[in-house]
Structure 1
Amino acid sequence: MMPNYRHLLSTCLLAISVAASGLAHANCEDLAKGFKDAVPKRADYVNIVGQDFDTVLERGYITFAVYEDFAPYSWKSGTEAKGIDIDIAKVIAEEMGVEAKFNFFASDENVDADFRNQVWRGGLINGEVSNIMMHAPYNKDLQCRNEFVVLGGQYFNETLATAYRIDAFPDGVPTTPYYRFHKVGVENDTISAFYLANFNGGMLMKNVIHYPDHQAAFRGLLDKQVDAVMGVKGKLEYMVQSNDTEEKVAVDTPPLVNFSLNEWTIGIAVNFRYREIYYTADGVIEDMVKDGRMKKVFEKYQVSYTKPDY
């Protein structure tokens, strides 16, 4: 399973509707309309105990919310936590002089719900929250409609990419029009699925094959159910290098015709009341980006690194 990026699609559609109505300078309240389930009333807020900076230092550990089964970013191997987000979190904890502990969770309906359940309110069952949520998409509109969350600590840019069988495309990575004649796999409810389903009035739909996740789509590629897979670059790169197969598969980032939402920034999310934790983690991440440690973390998992847009 991967984080649900439907908020990026809704943000894109929302921006179109705002521009069409002449509200080019919409404020946060305008942007939040239609997200009543994601923007809480202050009266509904319940104080969270044990999340301030001093408490973290006293108890000797800091908790991180990380997506489950989300290689190469976060997953469990037996009882051991592994992945890019895990390694970054451990550096943050080490710099603070505490231990890193991880709360693995499955993505909810959208990232607004993930913030609600993991950062400021807690799930309906146990109500547990974490000090820091890793792999949080960063953009102005998302911050605008989540007033109880501070977004920042950007550590890389996520990019859409295409994994393809070289025997099907000997001349190099296919561009979108190729899928008039070749089948392409996508994960359900992702930006890739949205883009391909709506390309040129839906002309590619018969050749767009939907799978429950990236892993299933990649297996479809290896089994020759499809000739290519469009998805998150880091995940596709990791699958190529971690699958021992005779099939020659490459990953590249072709230009996406009539689409600009092919890259977005990833960072952290912290409860708005505990900014000292946020400032500390943000500073550690900035240092890691500047001194090259962040790039080395990605290289460890054979994933190419793109610096965030500040």
Structure 2
Amino acid sequence: MPFIRRLMAPFALALLLYAPLHSAHADLDKLKHDGILKVAVYKDFAPFSAQDSGIDIDLARALAEKLGLRLSLLPFDAGEDLGDDLRNMVWKGHYLGYGPADVLMHVPVDPRLMDGARKVKIFAPYYHENVRLVRDVRKIPTYDGVDSLAGKKVGVEKVSISAMVMLGEQDGKFRDNVKIYPTAVEALEKLKAGELDAVLANRSEIESVIRQDPNFALSEATFQRLPRQGWVVGMAVKNDNVELAKALQAATNDLAASGQLAQIFARHGVTLARP
């Protein structure tokens, strides 16, 4: 999934350099003249953006409305690291001619990454994500830590932080019972179908699929290599596009204050966790 590569390869951002400066108002004025806000979203990234639906898409639509603009979505496949995505979708454009957008959704709001991403401005944190364990209470009635998973079938998404920590925990103690799926959603559907005992995944993914089913319970996942504090996501624009960043930040603040942001998340079964 896109965000995992952000966690596992942050130093690629150090390759980004400063962009030439121009009028801070130029890009926003052009957007208002054209009447369109181009927003880049990740493909196959449920519940945030998949098959033209998701939290990030609804949020992009609400932001465009706040700015009095029409929304134009630019769905794209995640690159090898965040540096690729920022280059292709924010400050330069893909060499095949796709992009850049005016704003990229779901960007890590992390001081270390922001210091390295000098051609972009990362701002407007709107969600605090973390990894959770969801278990079938009929098979695992109580969860008292990772040892409760001994002998249990646990699903994870391939190339994810969940897979990394689950496979490596206690020198691979649980490896033989870890089941790997193309996406977390597929693992969660297998859990609902009774083919798994538990799934380790992002809280947003779990909530969007489980939908408060009483047969399943969420627990805080404490693993040796898992960052317990989680991570925060926001947006990115070109570094010199200051006025657009200010306008989007103000619009995001308004959506949060009015409760509309929480409603967008709730529409997809996810509880809004503000940074």
Q: Is this a same-fold pair by TM over 0.5?
A: yes
* Aligned sequence identity (%): 26
Task: Report the equivalent of 1:16.
Answer: none
Unaligned runs of 5+ in 2: none
Amino acid at match of 1:160: V
- Please provide the CA RMSD for this pair: 2.5
Which of 86, 104, 112 aligns to 2:57? It is 86
Distance change in 2, residues 1:143/1:181 (3 Å): same
Q: What one-letter code is carried by the residue in structure 1 that aligns with 2:6?
A: H
Instruction: Determine helix, strand or coil for the equivalent of 1:230.
Output: strand
Query: In structure 1, what is the equivalent of residue 157 of structure 2?
Result: 187
What is aligned with 2:185? 215
Contact kept, 8 Å, 1:56 with 1:62, in 2: the verdict is yes
1:269 maps to 2:236: yes
- Going from structure 1 to structure 2, the CA distance change for 1:148 and 1:226 (only over 3 Å counts) comes to same
Between stretches 257-266 and 225-234, larger displacement belongs to: 257-266
Name the SS for the 1:253 alignment partner. Answer: strand
C-alpha distance in 1, partners of 2:118/2:93? 15
Alpha-carbon deviation of 1:224? 3.8
- How many angstroms does 1:72 deviate by? 2.1
Q: Alpha-carbon deviation of 1:259?
A: 4.6
| Corresponding position of 2:93 | 122
Distance 1:67 1:10 in 2: 17
| 1:142 to partner: Cα distance | 1.3
The alignment partner of 2:2 has SS state of coil
- The match for 1:7 is 6
> Which residue type is aligned with residue 63 of structure 1?
K
Matched, 1:154 2:125: yes
- Pairing 1:256–2:209 present: no
Shift of 1:157: 0.4
1:39 and 2:9 aligned: no
Count of residues in correspondence between the two structures: 270
- The separation in 1 between residues aligned to 2:232 and 2:75, in whole angstroms, is 21
Shift of 1:55: 0.7
Distance of aligned partners of 1:124 and 1:294 in 2 relative to their CA distance in 1, 3 Å threshold: same
Letter in 2 for 1:240: I
Deviation digits for residues 72-124 of structure 1, max 9, x if unmatched? 21233xxxx32211221122111211111111112222222211211112112
1:10-89 mapped onto 2 (5 Å cutoff): 10=9, 32=11, 35=12, 39-41=15-17, 52-76=27-51, 81-89=52-60
- Post-superposition offset of 1:62: 0.5
The answer to which of 177-186 and 217-226 deviates more is 217-226
In 1, Cα distance between the equivalents of 2:269 and 2:193?
23
Cα 1:6–1:95 change in 2 (3 A) is same
Aligned to 1:201: 171
Aligned-partner Cα distance in 1 for 2:267–2:232? 20
Cα pair distance change 1:199/1:10, threshold 3 Å: farther
- Report the counterpart of residue 252 of structure 2 in structure 1: 285
Provide, for residues 138-160 of structure 1, a one-character-per-residue CA deviation record: whole Å limited to 9, x for no partner.
Answer: 10111122211111110110121
Q: Is the 8 A contact 1:165 1:248 kept in 2?
A: no
Separation of aligned partners in 2, 1:237 and 1:251: 10
Cα distance in 1 between the residues matched to 2:35 and 2:217: 42
Judge conservation of contact 1:179–1:207 (CA < 8 Å) in 2. Answer: no
* One-letter amino acid of the structure 2 residue matched with residue 74 of structure 1: S
CA-CA distance at 1:197 after TM superposition = 2.1
Q: Cα 1:251–1:68, aligned 2, differ >3 Å: closer, same or farther? A: farther
| Residue identity matched to 1:39 | L
* 1:233 paired to 2:232: no
Give the direction of change, closer, same or farther, for the CA distance of 1:269–1:249 in structure 2 (3 Å limit): farther
- 2: CA distance between counterparts of 1:161 and 1:255? 5
Which of the residues 256, 261, 267 maps onto 1:294? 261
Structure 1, unpaired ranges of 5+: 12-31
Q: CA separation in 2, counterparts of 1:91 and 1:297?
A: 9
Q: Is the 8 A contact 2:9 2:81 kept in 1?
A: no
Residue 90 and residue 255 in structure 1: after superposition, are their counterparts in 2 closer, same or farther (change >3 A)? same
Instruction: Evaluate the alpha carbon distance shift between residue 87 and residue 219 of structure 1 in structure 2; reply closer, same or farther with a 3 A threshold.
Output: closer
